[in-house]
Amino acid sequence: MGVVDIDELTASARVVTVPMRVRFRGITAREAVVFRGPAGWGEFAPFAEYGDAESALWLRAGIEAAYQGFPEPLRTVVPINATVPAVAAAQVPEVLARFPGCRVAKVKVAEKGQSADDDVARVAAVRAALGPDGAVRIDANGGWTVPQALAVITRILEQGPLDYAEQPCATVEELAEVRGLLDGACDIAADESIRRADDPMRVAELGAADVAIVKVPPLGGVRAVLDMAAKLRAAAGVRVTVSSALDTAVGLTAGIAAAAAIPDGNAAGLGTGGFFTADLGTHPVVDGALRVAAVDPSEEAIAAVEETGERRDWWLDRMRRCAALL
C-alpha cells in the first residue's frame, strides 16, 4: 500500500459520534473518523485511551479500506454470534431479539461492580433463550484472576457446554495456566493477548489458546488479519474468530470482508450494529448472518451524528500524529 497524503485524508474526514442503546465497554457513544478514498470508505476509531503508536494501526486499516480495498471473499455471507452485554438476566431476551436467527451468543462476564452470580444468571438466561441447539461463548475481557476464572467457568459449565471462554485472564501466562487446569473441559480464546500484544504469536508458542479473536483495526487491516490467521493455524492449529472493534457500519465492512476471506471461519463476532441507535449505514442480520457488502453513507446519515469544533479538531490532530508514524 502506497503512502497516502495526510492532507488528502483530513480534507475528506468526517468526525462522528454514534449513540448506543446500552453501555458497552464502558461507553455509551462511539466516536470515529470516516473518510473516503478511491476504493470506498475507511474508518479511524481507536478508543480514546489508546496511545498514538497503537492507534496508528487503526489508521492503517482505514487507509487500506479506502485506498486499496479488500481481498476476494470466499463466501457471500458471514454467520455471526449475538453479543450480550453485561445486562441483567431479565434483559437478555430483548438483547437477543436484535440478532434474528443467531444460534451462537457471546456473553460478557466479569463486569466491574457485578458478581459471579450475575454472570451465571446471565449465561443461564441466554441458554434458555437460545434453546438446546444454541451455543454459548463467554468473554471476561481479562477481568478474572486464575482462581476466579476456574471458579466461575466451572459453575457455568455445570449448566452446559461452552463454545469457548474468551480472555478469562489478562496475561498469556495466565491463559495457559487456566487452559491447562481446565484440561479440555472448555476451550480458551485469546483477544487482548492477540490485538494488544507486542508478539501475538506468544499465544501459540505457550499453548495459551484454542481460538484467537482477531479484529481488523488493531492488527492494521484485513490483509494483516488474514496473515495472522494463517500463521496461528500453521503454528498451533489455533482457529480464528473475526470480531468487531465496536465499529460503525463503515468499519464493520472491513470486519465482514476479513471473515469472508478466512478459510474455515466460525461464527464471527460482528453483530454489534444493533447496539447503535443511529449509524452511518446498515448491515442487517438475516438468518443469523451478514451479507458481504460495503456501505456508502449518505450526507444525511453523516450530518445527523457529525461532530464539529473542539472534538473534531481533537480527532484530526490525533489522525495527523498517527499518520506520521506509518
Residue ranges in 131-221 assigned as alpha helix (H): 146-159, 172-182, 192-195, 202-205, 216-219
Residue 229 sits at φ, ψ, to 5 deg, of -60, -45
For residues 286-324, b (16+ Cβ closer than 10 Å) or e, as one string? eebbbebebbebeeebbeebebeeeebeebbebbebbbe
- Active-site choice (106, 112, 215, 231): 215
Eight-state DSSP code of residue 71: P
Q: Which of 20, 19, 18, 21 is nearest to 32 (CA)?
A: 18
Size of the chain in residues: 326
Annotated binding residue 306: no
Active site residue 215: yes
Tell me which amino acid residue 92 is: V
Q: Which of 218, 219, 221, 259 is nearest to 240 (CA)?
A: 259
- Tell me how crowded residue 105 is: count the other CB atoms within 10 A of its CB: 26
For residues 181-206, b (16+ Cβ closer than 10 Å) or e, as one string? ebeeebbbbbbbbbbeeeebbbbbeb
- Give residue 267's Cα distance to chain centre: 12
Alpha-carbon gap, residue 72 to 221, rounded angstroms: 14
Annotated binding residue 191: yes
Alpha-carbon gap, residue 50 to 196, rounded angstroms: 10
- Active-site choice (106, 108, 112, 231): 108
Query: Taking a C-beta distance cutoff of 8 angstroms, is the pair 285, 271 a contact?
Result: yes
Q: What residues are designated binding site for Mg(2+)?
A: 139, 166, 191
Catalytic site positions: 108, 215
Q: Residues annotated in the binding site, as ranges?
A: 139, 166, 191
